[in-house]
A and B are shown apart, each in its own frame.
Chain A
Amino acid sequence: MHELGILNSMIHTIQNVVNEQGITEVDKLVIEIGELSGIVPHYIEECWPAARYKTFMENTELELIVIPGMVKCRDCGEVFNAVSADLSCPKCGSRNMEILEGNDMIIKEIICK
């Protein structure tokens, strides 16, 4: 369960952005979580109330978008969703793959007044 630490780090990153932009209140935060990031969206939601407590985002709503974990097989070139294929290529069975998308957690946008 590393989600709380990740949210704390994210709050510091956003703090810098709002300071630069002169924003005081954030209404909503849109986050993209990749399926291969090792970060569990459900736990991010669960931890959010604790992470934002007594910060400038105490009233901020959180919206999560899950990004599919897409990979390319390094042996046969097949492109597939690694999670539904259980981490092996559905065409040739190889486990040697390159991640194309869904490896990160990104702050997509913040919505404020």
Chain B
Amino acid sequence: MEEFKVLEIKQSVFADNDRQADEMRRELKKKKVFLLNLMSSPGSGKTTTLSRTIEALRDEMKIGVMEADIDSDVDAREIEKFGAKVIQLHTGGMCHLDAEMTRQGLEGLDTQDVDLAILENVGNLVCPAEFDTGAVKNAMILSVPEGDDKPLKYPLIFQVCDVVLINKIDVLPYFDFDMEECRKNILIRNPKAKIIPICAKTGEGIEEWADWLRGQVKEWKS
């Protein structure tokens, strides 16, 4: 009779990815590059928000953007117009980016002279939240038309985000979106989350967001 050996592993299925992500954060710290992972649903205004963010910060720091999509380069071409260094990452059907894909993206971007690297993750509220990309901070955009109950329906993404931007506040009068209810729902999931209502189209709230990001980059580089 053959003998079987049982090995107790007790590791998360994401252990390997988490290890790579931690290693990358250590390297980014040495290189003084701040990596922001930006997540959201499709159509929440990631690219417009990013354009506004670049406008607000481009005179004080060098910004690099990685646009992750399943296909196409429409977002990358749009972002390039705002004066940031951009590369397009195609995930080839995958619904998220992991630490290894992010590393390849950073290599492709060449971060030598970059202060702030922004990863525009695939538009999805589920999978990107599960995979640590190695980013220093996670941000997400929730737009008003999506509804104030999203933190209850997609708890994980709200748990892993340091900052939540509530976008498209200009259309608040046309939707049954309760801002206070939304704040409450986010804070249930993540009491430490910073919440900033914005309108990327008009620029409202962008200053507060840019201030937060500027502070984070400064702290990381010190």
Contact = CB atoms under 8 A, between A and B. Distances in A.
Interface stretch (B58-66, B78-86, B103-111, B123-131): B123-131
A109 B8 CA distance: 4
Given A95-B152, A95-B188, A112-B4, A107 B14 contact: no
26 contacts: A1-B95, A2-B126, A7-B13, A9-B13, A9-B14, A9-B16, A12-B17, A13-B15, A13-B17, A95-B152, A97-B188, A104-B12, A106-B12, A107-B9, A107-B15, A108-B8, A108-B9, A109-B7, A109-B8, A110-B6, A111-B4, A111-B5, A111-B7, A113-B3, A113-B4, A113-B5
B50 interface: no
Given A2-B127, A9-B16, A109 B9 contact: yes
Q: Contact residue range for chain B?
A: 20 to 34
B126 A38 contact: yes
B183 interface: no
B130 A6 contact: yes
Interface of A: 1-2, 5-7, 9-10, 12-17, 21, 23, 27, 31, 36, 38, 87, 95-97, 104-113
